[in-house]
């Protein structure tokens, strides 16, 4: 508390919890093992699994926005999405290909697994 005061920061007791093993913050559950999506978020993610492939750029943009929120849980997400982002470029007609469908299904499958970001271990 002295360090906070020294830095010119204040705390409000009603907004603070101390010595917790686990906290929920911005849709993520943080514990000693790492950062996980909350159960509520997992339900929303699983709803994406039944989602049909986008039929236009607006639907694709919405899907990409949904998955990039969880990008920190998906290794090389930006690389996997490159072929889909090309469909959002101006002057390029929206033509959904079997390759796009494969990428879409792969991304929804990855999202529905409960992966965790782990805390950094310097050793």
Q: Residue 122's pLDDT is what?
A: 63
58-97 pLDDT, tens digit each: 999 998 988 887 777 777 888 989 999 999 998 889 999 9
Q: Residue 115's pLDDT is what?
A: 56
Dihedral in degrees, nearest 10, Cα atoms 45, 49, 55, 57: 30
- CA pair distance 80, 57, nearest whole angstrom: 17
CA distances for 64 relative to 46, 47, 100, 109, angstroms: 15, 15, 13, 14
Answering whether pTM is above 0.75, one says: no
- Scanning 7-97, the segments in alpha helix (DSSP H) are 39-49, 57-69, 77-85
13-25 pLDDT, tens digit each: 888 888 889 988 8
- CA pair distance 54, 105, nearest whole angstrom: 11
Query: Are 54 and 97 within 8 A, CB to CB?
Result: no
């Amino acid at each position: 508390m002295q360090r906070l005061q020294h830095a010119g920061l204040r705390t409000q007791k009603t907004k603070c919890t101390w010595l917790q093993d686990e906290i929920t913050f911005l849709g993520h559950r943080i514990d000693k093992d790492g950062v996980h999506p909350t159960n509520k978020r997992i339900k929303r993610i699983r709803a994406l699994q039944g989602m049909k492939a986008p039929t236009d750029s607006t639907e694709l943009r919405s899907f990409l926005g949904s998955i990039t929120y969880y990008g920190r849980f998906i290794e090389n997400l930006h690389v996997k999405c490159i072929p889909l982002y090309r469909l959002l470029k101006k002057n390029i007609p929206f033509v959904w290909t079997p390759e796009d469908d494969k990428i879409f299904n792969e991304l929804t499958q990855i999202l529905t697994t409960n992966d965790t970001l782990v805390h950094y271990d310097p050793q």
